[in-house]
Amino acid sequence: MRIILARHGQTTANAEKRFQGHIDFPLNELGLQQAENLAGQLSQYNPGRIYTSDLCRSIQTAAPAARLLRLDPIPSPIYREYSWGELEGLSWPEIKERYPALFSRLRHDLRGADIPGQEPQDEFRQRLQKGLSMLLDPGGPRTVALIGHGRYLNAMVVEYLGLDFNGPWPFSFASAAVTVLEEVAGRRRILKFNEECHLTGELHA
């Protein structure tokens, strides 16, 4: 069983280093180009299903691959990004100006800081586990793809590998990069991580 993970393409909010969360930012011009290039890379794995977050940046990223593979993408709020509460839409300088005490805590412990309105971690993990169960459906294809979000994919890899969910989440995903998870005889591993070869020459456009 293989799960092909890809983070959505770049948005203007990404370029400006803003917290996106549930805000529905669309892809920018570079992000749309990344989505087109991602399609060819994903097609090499021939997934039988393409799941996506219900936010437009993920749906837009999945569209070229879905057309190429002649699949209907399956959007779901289960795969939506983690909600950052009152930080959504803000850049680091704006957070420092509006919430100086919180800014200091965030710089030292992003995971442990108490952010007003954020998604509770236990609820986020329950949503994550439901999403992973959908991907691992024993009655489904042996290879599936998920177009998602950076923090969600980070936590999903931790959950998939059985690492300590309350410990570090060490996986960072570039825009439109590909990660491949594989399970053979009950053993799970990362087969490929954060592959960007299909984006060569475009990341700094």
Q: Could you give all domains of the chain from N- to C-terminal order, each with its CATH number? A: 2-83+120-199 (3.40.50.1240), 85-118 (no CATH)
Helix/strand/coil for 194: strand
| φ, ψ of residue 188 in degrees (nearest 5) | -110, 145
Q: Tell me if residue 196 is catalytic.
A: no
Q: Tell me if residue 86 is catalytic.
A: no
Which pLDDT tens digit goes with each residue over 22-74?
Answer: 999 999 999 999 999 999 999 999 999 999 999 999 999 999 999 999 999 99
pLDDT number for residue 202 = 56
3-state class percentages of the chain: helix first, strand second, coil last, to nearest 5: 40, 20, 40
Which pLDDT tens digit goes with each residue over 133-163?
Answer: 999 999 999 999 999 999 999 999 999 999 9
In DSSP notation, 83-152 reads P-GGGTT-BHHHHHHH-HHHHHHHHH-TTTS--TTPPPHHHHHHHHHHHHHHHT-TTS-SEEEEEE-HHH
**Active site residue: 81, 88, 149, 198, which one?**
81
What 120-125 contacts at long range (C-beta under 8 Å, 24+ apart), as own/partner pairs, is 124/82, 124/155, 125/155, 125/159, 125/165
Q: Give the pLDDT band of residue 108 (cuts 50, 70, 90).
A: confident
What distance in Å separates the CA atoms of residue 105 and residue 158, rounded to the nearest whole number? 24
- Strand (E) or helix (H) holding 69: helix 56-69
Which two tokens mark 182? 């594989």
